[in-house]
Chain A
């Protein structure tokens, strides 16, 4: 078996899959970082990803257009982000319970809508998923070209999102406003930043990213919708936010780690029946817990305003 692992084809395949499988986590992690930086924990993430997955899939199934599916997934993510804003920002409900409520509601809704549109056929319907795009020139680089530059368009977009998120948070006036709202909403209010509006926009944009991350699973990684298709990736993204200390680059490293273990586990499954592949399935999740332990040992902490609804009337809270 070892000879099989240490071949160049195996390695390029493994790393190429790592990059691919990290993409949905990267989208979701970036969405959650933006939201948490503004002071809101969005536990609706798992459900929003599932809604993105089902909406993207069904739209593509009906229209035949993958990008229409992505657009629909973005819109549904936006809508659920705004719903979370209504509950957690404007009504100031417990972010924990409101987020879990959104996840429960949207999980139920996703399955309901899927069954409504598709029925219960013996063979689940499939779509033609995205194909990989080789970037001219770069994809010819030995090894690295195949791994990095022969990927889905969405993978390239996910890298762009990381870069944009980093520039936005650290290099723009708006990013500073978001971070201020997350660290000290009272100070932000004093200097004229609309705290609740900022949080609402972050939740909306974050929701779009979560929806896209979910749709990646049905439109690129897979070609069908399964009820457990998200499989805890939303929770993994939240763990990666903590692991990466609320930093886009740190979060991406976490996502890549999960992607690597996921890719490795898939390859182990494919190698033979004598390997108990369910043990390998456990590895990415166990590693996520370990990543949390490692991440939590660092000094840098969560945004100080996280989990606290902002009410002007309750100064100093």
Chain B
């Protein structure tokens, strides 16, 4: 058996935008298989999924709250993948940001006003994530060490470092749980809408969407990251300092993931916890791919993933389908999207030899 791929004419722009939508629809149809295996009623499952995520004002706002870290990690991955810096380390970079935010938030005197404290936390959280991403970028550019492997393994280094802090120096006094003391009130990201957890971090995430769009489309750096991603040899001979571009990419990418950690600590948990991230960093990969590495697309796909994650909890309560359906759907969405992209670029024909 052979598969023959022939290039298609590029799709018109408006149809390109429909590819992720088609991928989402196919994924949701495929999700019926595991739901049926779990003995869930299909109609009820899908209804509770969407009602749980979008049924009431509160649910919609909760979905936005969940989307916040996903937008940031999705952007982190999308921005890195654009220049083919394979940053799979958003999870660890998120934790670096979370640890930084918690450390500042706990040890700062309560009198420091929020207008001073919050920018400091955001800035240093960004920097911490960026620094943790810089290490693999440095190893990649200076020592030619594969970035996929280092970013992945550094996630575990950061995870255990956080474990060390939470069972050791940062553990809440008198507690035996891996949990830090609470951050001061002025380190809380303000809630913007009454009777909800809709917080400032969401606006920050959306601002980042705009900033990344601006960098990509309107700045020299955006042009350079794309050039390095498309053809590093050509960009090098075209006078671009590839190393510098990858270093900047890593700082920004890791910084975005760091911000996700900041917002989770300062708007959701108010403590540092071992499960500060239930895999948000890894979810960034399918989110970025589904968003076709475009910042607006990434934000939209983050919202879709958030619907799935929030909705899966209601669905699980109502139908008994395991809540891990959300993870399963994320994996399926990524693979479906990859195949969808291939099918729009190539005509796929299977022939028997």
Contact = CB atoms under 8 A, between A and B. Distances in A.
Contacts of B37: 116
A90 B324 contact: no
Given A232-B155, A281-B160, A313-B4, A87 B335 contact: yes
Interface in A203-219: none
B88 interface: yes
A292 interface: yes
B167 interface: yes
B156 interface: yes
Contact residue range for chain A?
35 or more
Contacts of A43: 148
Contacts of B6: 313
Contact of B5 (A92, A100, A297): A92
A282 B160 contact: yes
A276 B146 CA distance: 31
Contacts of A232: 152-153, 155-156
Interface residues of B, number: 52
Contacts, number: 146
Interface in A108-161: 108-109, 111-112, 115-116
Contact of B153 (A105, A116, A285): A285
B334 A276 contact: no
B256 interface: no
A282 B161 contact: yes
A109 B148 CA distance: 23
A238 B1 CA distance: 30
A235 B153 contact: yes
Interface string A16-38: 00000000000000000000000
A119 to B, nearest CB: 9
B348 interface: yes
B75 interface: no
A97 B289 contact: yes
Contacts of B146: 242, 292
B152 A105 contact: no
A285 B148 contact: no
A263 B324 CA distance: 32
Contacts of A279: 160-161, 164
Interface in A63-112: 87, 90-94, 96-98, 100-109, 111-112
Given A276-B167, A292-B145, 4 more contacts: A91-B348, A102-B335, A289-B150, A292-B146
Interface of A: 43, 87, 90-94, 96-98, 100-109, 111-112, 115-116, 196, 231-232, 235-236, 238-239, 242, 276-279, 281-282, 285-286, 288-289, 292-293, 296-297, 311, 313
Q: Which 8 A-B pairs have the closest CB atoms?
A: A105-B331, A108-B327, A278-B164, A108-B328, A278-B163, A104-B331, A115-B322, A111-B324
25 contacts: A87-B338, A90-B1, A91-B3, A98-B335, A100-B88, A101-B331, A101-B334, A101-B338, A102-B335, A104-B286, A107-B331, A108-B328, A108-B330, A235-B149, A235-B152, A276-B164, A278-B167, A281-B164, A282-B164, A285-B153, A285-B154, A285-B160, A292-B139, A293-B143, A296-B145
